[in-house]
Amino acid sequence: MSNSQNNKIIVGDCIEVMNNLPAKSVDMIFADPPYNLQLEGELHRPNNSRVDGVEESWDKFDSFADYDDFSKRWLAAARRVLKDDGTIWVIGSYHNIYRVGATLQDLGYWMLNDVVWVKTNPMPNFRGRRFTNAHETLLWCSKSKDARYTFNYEAMKALNDDLQMRSDWVMPLCTGQERLKDDKGNKAHPTQKPEALLYRAILASTDPGDVVLDPFFGTGTTGAVAKKLGRRYIGIERDQAYVKVAEKRLARIPEVADKRLVETPSKRREPRIPFGTLVERGMLSAGDVLVSPCGRYTAKVRADGTIISADHRGSIHQVGAAVQKAPSCNGWTYWCMNVEGRPVPIDILREKLRAETRA
């Protein structure tokens, strides 16, 4: 894709625009389509003040069939423009997400996760006839079952205090200074999403320089976060009022000065270091004893880069799995060496060699 099509907002119908973009040209799509809320009449609080909800014409469809047809057409256009190893995120509420999910699967997308955005400050249920609707659902899909999609596992774990990131994301609605206002002081867009939500999605599934497409750009949250993370963006929006707000918003965001600060390194992409290299380099020697974290099992290093326990011989992974009677084992993190009386995983030695390749 030419640079002229990056970091810009294209005004027009999202289906027409996507059908005219180069095929397989974007790395990630984040879509916040109309929810088809099917609202009837005005909603009021107990004090009789009117609730400022979604009343725009773009959220209205004559029937479920019309909505399904619209979903099929824009998702097909999105599939054409998405790279084979790219991913798509679609957010919705109970009004539409199940219908959109079925369409995604019908078109051949492969479901990776459904992520629940748990709102810490949801709008109350004023009529008291249902549960307070306190969450929305994001569907994360690859283009096919076998796609080699990007998932920055280590970055998500680091973002979550070194714990695996779960599929329930707890964060507030977009409020306060983040909520964009028009010239009259009203909400610039009724369904503006918090930047924190986009931050996780973009950081999780893209790399710096990747192109993120938002076919329902609105006031530009996707573009704002993409720019802050050193990604490129394409926004499609047909409402000129939203485009005007988004352009002003994006102009205020500086370019990333140091690209290294937004890189998301992955252990899976690190250079492969065979265990035998540690023996060749003298970091471990034949006869050195390795121990399991619990101290129950031991194994000796052999000159050819294999290890041997009381009953098993093979790679660090094979022997680690065998002594535990487990189907598999990451020998790098399982086997330890004795350092000043405490077990330290041999992976620390591999990291030293990898650091040499980065220097």
Q: Write the pLDDT tens digit of every residue in 269-305.
A: 778 899 999 999 999 999 999 999 999 999 999 999 9
Bin 131: left if φ > 0, else alpha if -120 < ψ < 50, else beta: beta
pLDDT score at 358: 66
Q: Give the Å distances, CA to CA, from 154 to 131, 263, 276.
A: 36, 11, 26
Bin 20: left if φ > 0, else alpha if -120 < ψ < 50, else beta: alpha
CA angle 244, 245, 250 (to 5 degrees): 100
| Percent of the chain predicted with pLDDT > 70 | 91
Segment 78-98 mean pLDDT: 96
Quickly list H helices, 252-346: 275-280, 316-324, 331-334
For residues 344 and 284, is the Cβ–Cβ distance under 8 A?
Answer: no
pLDDT score at 5: 64
Segment 43-49 mean pLDDT: 45
pLDDT at 218 over 90: yes
336-339 and 313-314 as β-strands: parallel, antiparallel, unpaired?
A: unpaired
pLDDT score at 296: 93
pLDDT score at 49: 47
43-57, 81-95, 136-150, 234-248 — which is least confidently predicted?
Answer: 43-57
107-111, 127-131, 154-158, 273-277 — which is least confidently predicted?
Answer: 127-131
Does residue 176 or residue 251 have the better pLDDT? 251
- String of DSSP letters for 31-95: E---------S--B-TTSPBP-----GGG--S-HHHHHHHHHHHHHHHHHHEEEEEEEEEEE-TT
pLDDT at 15 over 70: yes
CA distance linking residue 183 with residue 52, whole number of Å = 17
pLDDT at 47 over 90: no
Does residue 250 or residue 56 have the better pLDDT? 250
Nearest to 124 by CA among 55, 44, 54: 44
Segment 203-223 mean pLDDT: 96
CA angle 262, 267, 273 (to 5 degrees): 135
Handedness of CA 243, 17, 78, 266 (dihedral sign): negative
For residues 156 and 210, is the Cβ–Cβ distance under 8 A?
Answer: no
CA distance linking residue 237 with residue 126, whole number of Å = 32
Q: How many CB atoms lie within 10 A of CB 346?
A: 23
Q: How confident is the model at residue 245 (pLDDT cuts 50, 70, 90)?
A: very high
pLDDT score at 182: 82
pTM for this model (two decimals): 0.78
pLDDT score at 61: 72
Q: How far apart are the first and last CA of the chain?
A: 32
Q: How many CB atoms lie within 10 A of CB 193?
A: 22
Contacts of the segment 249-256: beta carbons below 8 A, 24+ positions apart: 249/180, 249/219, 249/220, 249/224, 250/9, 250/220, 250/223, 250/224, 253/224, 253/227, 253/228, 255/227, 256/208, 256/227, 256/228, 256/229, 256/230
Q: How confident is the model at residue 55 (pLDDT cuts 50, 70, 90)?
A: low
pLDDT score at 62: 81
pLDDT at 39 over 80: no
Q: How confident is the model at residue 40 (pLDDT cuts 50, 70, 90)?
A: low
CA distance linking residue 230 with residue 179, whole number of Å = 23
pLDDT score at 58: 55
Q: What is the DSSP letter of 315?
A: -
pLDDT score at 77: 97
Segment 45-53 mean pLDDT: 47
Segment 11-39 mean pLDDT: 91
Q: How confident is the model at residue 45 (pLDDT cuts 50, 70, 90)?
A: very low
Q: How confident is the model at residue 38 (pLDDT cuts 50, 70, 90)?
A: low
Span 117-130, pLDDT tens digits: 999 998 887 677 88
For residues 152 and 264, is the Cβ–Cβ distance under 8 A?
Answer: yes
